[in-house]
Amino acid sequence: MEIFRSHVLVCGGTGCTSSGSVKLVDRLNDQLGELGLDKEVKVIKTGCFGLCEAGPVVIVYPEGTFYSHVQTEDVDEIVSEHLLKGRVVRRLVYQDKGDHPSVGKSLSDIEFYKHQTRVALRNCGVIDPENIDEYIAFDGYRALTKALTEMTPQDVIDEVSRSGLRGRGGGGFPTGTKWKFAAASKDDKKYVVCNADEGDPGAFMDRSVLEGDPHAILEAMAICGYAIGADEGYIYVRAEYPIAVKRLNLAIEQAHEYGLLGQNILGTGFNFDLHIRLGAGAFVCGEETALMASIEGHRGEPRPRPPFPAVKGLFGKPTNINNVETYANVAQIILRGADWFRTMGTERSAGTKVFALGGKINNTGLVEVPMGTPLRTVIYDIGGGIPHGRRFKAVQTGGPSGGCIPARLLDVPIEYDSLIEIGSMMGSGGMIVMDEDNCMVDIARFFLDFTVDESCGKCTPCRIGTRRMLEILNRIVEGKGEEGDIEKLERLATTIAKTSLCGLGQTAPNPVLSTLRYFRDEYEAHIRDKRCPAHHCRSLMQYQIIDKCRGCTACARVCPVHAVSGEVRKPHAIDQDKCIKCGACYDACRFDAIIKA
C-alpha cells in the first residue's frame, strides 16, 4: 500500500470543471513529477466541496488548507512553496468576509461549513468518486453487508420507516411506507428506480451527489431491492450531466468486479443489477409516471394514479421510485440506525436537507442543514448575506413549483409542513435568493414561463390554463395590466391546481399565488400606477437625469438612439419619446446623476 505525506484534493464537480479544475490536476501532477514529489504527494480529483463561489477549489491535507479561485498559473507556487517547503500560499487561502488577508483557513474554520451537518453529502469533496476502494474505506457497502447478512427485508423496511426519512424529491412522502407498499405487492418481477431527472432552474443537488459519491446510490438501491424483493433497477439521469453519467457507469462496473452487483451478492444468494437510462431534458419526466414511460421508450407523459407505481409501475410491474438525495441517506440509516437519524431535524421532518443556494447571495453553492434550521441561518450565516450590502427581499424554495418567502418570514424553520403553511414547499432543494432589485411580478412570470414551456400538454388545465396566466403576467409587466387581472390570476390558479393531472400542473401556480400573497402591492403598482417599484420592468421605467449632472457627455456618447442631449459642462436631458430604456447611459454615468424612475 502506498503511503503519502500529503494529499491534494481538487474539486472535480461540474462547476469547478467548467472553471478549469481538470487543468489544475494535470499541472499539479506535472510539477510534482518534475520535482520528484510524486511519490510523496497524491493528487485526488473529488466531487463538489459545496462552496461553489470559491471554485476552483484545492485543499491540501493533512493541514486542511483551503485554497480558492485557483488558476493554472497558481499551481507552481502551491507546489514549490506549500508542498515542497511547507509554507502556505496566503494569497490563495479562502477568506471569510471581514477576515484579515493574512489569515489562513482550513475547512473546519470556514463559516460556510460551521452550521452544516453532512449526511447525503458526507463523501462529496472527501473521496475520489472514481475509486471504489476509497468509498469502501469510508464504510462503503457495510450497510449492504449488514442488510444482507443480519437483517430480514422486513427489518430493513422497519428501520427506514422508524427513521422518519421522507422523500427528498419534493413530495415528502414517507420512504419506509413507500417501500412497504412495493414489498407487499405480489409479482414475479419488481424494479427499483432512481429519479435523477433534476430539472428545477438553479438546482444541482442530485447532480453533485452522483458526481461526488455514486456508490452511495448504488448501495442504497441494492438495499431497497433486497427490502422489496426486486432484482433489477434503473437510474434515470439527465444526459446534460456527462460527469455524473461517466462516474455512474464506472461505479457500476467496479461494483460488478467486486461482487457487489450482479448474481449472488456477497455469497448471500441475493441478485441485483442496475442500468442507466438517459433523459432528454424534459422537466415533466421528473414526475414518476412520466419517468417510467420514458424508460419504457414512450413519450414522457404522466398517467392518472391509481394504480400507483408500487402496484403497477415500470413495465407494468411493482416499482419503487426515490430520488438521489433520498437514496443518499439510506446506507447511513441502516449502518447507524433510525434513532441516530432522528437526532437530526424535527419530529415531523427528520434528518437533513440539501439545498442549492443561488441568486443574490455571497456564498453560492451546496448546503446541507438539519431540518428545522431557520431560513435566516442559511441565508446569512452560511450564505454570507446579500452582495453589495443590498436589502434581502425574498427567497424562492421548491423551484418553479415552489413559492417566494418574504423577509418577515426569515425565521421560519425549514421543514416540509412549515414551508407549505406559508405558501411554498421544500421541493427538491432549489433555494434562490432575491434582493431589492428583483421585481416579484417578473419573478412569477419567469417561473410560469418555464412551466408553460415544460408542460407536456396532455391535460387541458396545465396546457391552456398556465398559458392564459402567462399572457396576463406578460401584459402586467409590459404596463398593459387592467383592473381585474389579479382576480383572474387567482381564479385560474385555483382551477389549475385542482384539476391538473400531475404535480407539474398542480403546483405551477404556486409562484404566482405566493407573490400575490406577500407582494400584492407590487402587482397593484404595475396595474394601477403603471410603475414597477423595483425599477426592473423596462416598459414601466424611465431614466432621468438629475441635478448631479456635470455635463461630461458620457451618457450622450453611449446612447444608441441619440436620446440624450445637452452642452458640455451643462446638465443634460433625456428625450423619453426616443429613449429605448437600454440602460447604457445609466451604466456610463460616473456621478450618479441618472436615476431609474
CATH code of the domain in which 560 resides = 3.30.70.20
Residue 375, all three cell numbers = 431560513
Domain around 62: 6-114
Determine, yes or no, domain membership for 582.
yes
Within 10 angstroms of residue 494's Cβ, the number of other Cβ atoms is 12
Question: Strand 319-323 vs strand 58-61: parallel, antiparallel, or unpaired?
Answer: unpaired
Query: What contacts 254, CB < 8 A, 6 or more positions away?
Result: 132, 215
* CA nearest neighbour of 214 among 429, 367, 48, 382: 48
Torsional sign, CA 427, 431, 434, 439: negative
| Same domain, yes or no: 501 and 451 | yes
Q: Tell me, what CATH number does 509's domain have?
A: 1.20.1440.230
CATH classification at residue 81: 3.40.30.10
CATH no. for residue 285?
3.40.50.11540
Residue 103's pLDDT is: 54
Among 504, 528, 552, give the residue marking a domain's end. 528
CA distances to 244, 304, 576 from 192, in Å: 19, 20, 62
Among residues 502, 528, 554, which one ends one of the domains?
528
pLDDT tens digits for 480-512? 999 999 999 999 999 999 999 998 899 999 999
Residue 105, pLDDT score:
65
Which amino acid, residue 565?
A: S
Within this chain, do residues 193 and 263 fall inside the same structural domain, yes or no? yes
Cis peptide bond upstream of 306, omega within 30: yes
383 found inside a domain = yes
Widest Cα–Cα separation across the chain: 89
Query: What sign does the dihedral 274-280-286-290 (CA atoms) show?
Result: negative
CA atoms within 13 A on the CB side of 505: 24
309 and 378 assigned to the same domain: no
Identify the H or E element spanning 585: helix 584-588
∠ CA 170-400-200, rounded to 5°: 65
Are 505 and 444 in the same domain? yes
Grid cell, residue 413, equals: 424553520
Query: Half-sphere exposure of 384 toward its Cβ, with a 13 Å CA cutoff?
Result: 24
Residue with cell 417501500: 179
* Final residue belonging to a domain, choices 435, 450, 477: 435
Q: Indicate whether 126 belongs to any domain.
A: no
Is 123 inside any structural domain? no
In a domain, 536, yes or no: no
| CA 524 to each of CA 473, 477, 483, 486, 542: distance values in angstroms, whole numbers, following the listed order | 12, 11, 9, 8, 19
Specify whether 87 is located in the same domain as 173.
Answer: no
User: Which helix (H) or strand (E) covers residue 184, if one does?
Assistant: helix 175-184
Q: Are 67 and 78 in contact (CB under 8 A)?
A: yes
CA distance 367 to 382: 8
In-domain check, residue 463: yes
Strands 430-435 and 352-359: parallel
In a domain, 122, yes or no: no
267 and 416 both lie in a single domain = no
CATH (domain of 363): 3.10.20.600
CA neighbor of 293 nearest in space, from 218, 228, 236, 239:
236
How many helices and strands in the chain, by DSSP H and E? 26, 18
588: helix, coil or strand?
helix
With a cut of 70, list the residues of the chain below it in pLDDT.
1, 98-105
Q: Look at the chain and report how many structural domains it folds into.
A: 5
Q: CA angle 494-495-497, nearest 5°? A: 65
Looking at the structure, do residues 424 and 465 belong to the same domain, yes or no?
no
**Are 324 and 195 contained in the same domain?**
yes
Which residues does residue 543 pair with via DSSP β-bridges, in sequence order? Answer: 596
Taking only the tens place, the pLDDT of each residue in 305-314 is 899 999 999 9
For 498-559, the DSSP string reads HH-SSHHHHHTTHHHHHHHHH-HHHHHHHHHS---TTS--GGG--EEE-TT-----HHHHH-
Q: Return the half-sphere exposure (C-beta side, CA atoms, 13 A cut-off) of residue 362.
A: 21
Identify each DSSP E strand in 35-87 by its residue range.
41-46, 58-61, 65-67
CA distances from 276 to 293, 318, 329 (A): 15, 19, 21
358 in the same domain as 336:
no
Considering the domain architecture, whether residues 144 and 23 belong to the same structural domain is answered as no
DSSP class of 570: S
In a domain, 119, yes or no: no
The answer to whether residues 426 and 446 belong to one domain is no
* Residue 102, pLDDT score: 44
Clarify whether residues 93 and 142 are in a common domain: no
